[in-house]
Amino acid sequence: AKHRRIMGLMALNRLISRQREQKQKRNRGRIEANNGWIASSLAKRNRSPCRQDINSHGGKKVRYPGPDLPEDIWRHIHFLLPMQDAARAARISQSFRSSWKCYPNLTFTNETMCSKEDLCMRTTGSNVIRDYNNKIDHVLRNHSGAGVKKLRLEYYVIPHDAEPYHHLTSWLQIAVTPGIEQLHLTLSPRDATFNFPCMLLSERCHGSIQYLHLANLDLHPTFQLGLRTLKTLHLYNVHITGGELGCLLSHSFALAHLRLQYCHDIIRLQIPCLLQRLRFLEVLECSLEVLEINAPNISRFRLMDFNVQLSFGKSRKMKNLMLNNSCGISYAIDNLPSCAPKVETLTIHSSYEVFSHS
């Protein structure tokens, strides 16, 4: 956020300086330089003369002058700002109000929306969470949904709410639109029972989504989603079966990073050979019984699971391998020389071992 604020301030200052020099040559006045905080700069300068921004002072109308810049330049400056500053600018400037409706990076977290309260605390009251949700709802209701590239959303369930997910469903309908590239959705508490609407992925963003992180929810696709642009998939405490994961990964030929953690409904997992670009695989504490890896180009693999039957299949390019499971040492001695001959870094944590005396 600090980096984006600095970039936005620098871009704004350069454009204002250029405009000031032009107006000096034409003898049309001089725009006072202001190197203060970006919100103050925006409040004083970002009024376009083609739109009248008028406040009333003592019955008189006061018009605030500003640099005459093309709309696409104003929009570029606006998009460089962190979301909080961009929202404030839209409230005080007509020049930024229209561009806010397609602001591309939406981040709704405890830190950005409710920094004075810790929503993760068990003592948090319903009113605090309700205020947090109302703020998000207000922001999204003023956003058209068009142009969203990144959506990061932490959703906190109001205790004893009769309809705990009505806000969340409507927000996803607004923000998950064609063209979105990153979706990061986390629900709290961990025992949330929200069933993610798979149709959003299939109908709206199957041709654009590149990063998908889902945590503490249910995911039950019953058809092939065809996420052909998906490069990174992280599932944390997601209720999904091995077959349903297969529907999610169908046609995900661009997938490079797959991380599964606390996905206890997956009993048997097969990583298909069609995932030719998969390089990094993590399976952490998922209660697996069988794991078969056929993706041929995996170079890094992390396994943290006990009593899992492991098979590397056609994968022969692993260079970085971490095993944290029972009989990990004996498995490595018996199998790695033949199934993973190119391993360069090997880390093993084993709870117990069984060795033959022969």
Q: Domains in the chain, start-ordered, CATH in brackets?
A: 85-350 (3.80.10)
Who has greater pLDDT, 128 or 58? 128
| Measured distance CA(72)–CA(264) in Å, rounded | 48
Length of the chain: 358
- Above 90 in pLDDT, residue 323? no
For residue 278, pLDDT over 90 is answered with yes
My answer on whether omega of the bond before 189 falls inside 30° of 0, hence cis, is yes
State mean pLDDT over 305-328: 79
**Segment 184-200 mean pLDDT:** 93
What is the band of 142 on the pLDDT scale with cuts at 50, 70, 90?
A: confident
CA distance 86 to 96: 8
pLDDT tens column, 204-228: 888 899 999 999 999 999 888 889 9
Distance CA 259, CA 55 (A): 53
**Average pLDDT, integer, range 167-184:** 92
Q: How would you classify residue 287: left for phi > 0, otherwise alpha for psi between -120 and 50, otherwise beta?
A: left
pLDDT at 248 > cutoff 60: yes
Residues 48-64 pLDDT 10s: 333 333 344 444 443 43
pLDDT of residue 196 exceeding 70, the answer is: yes
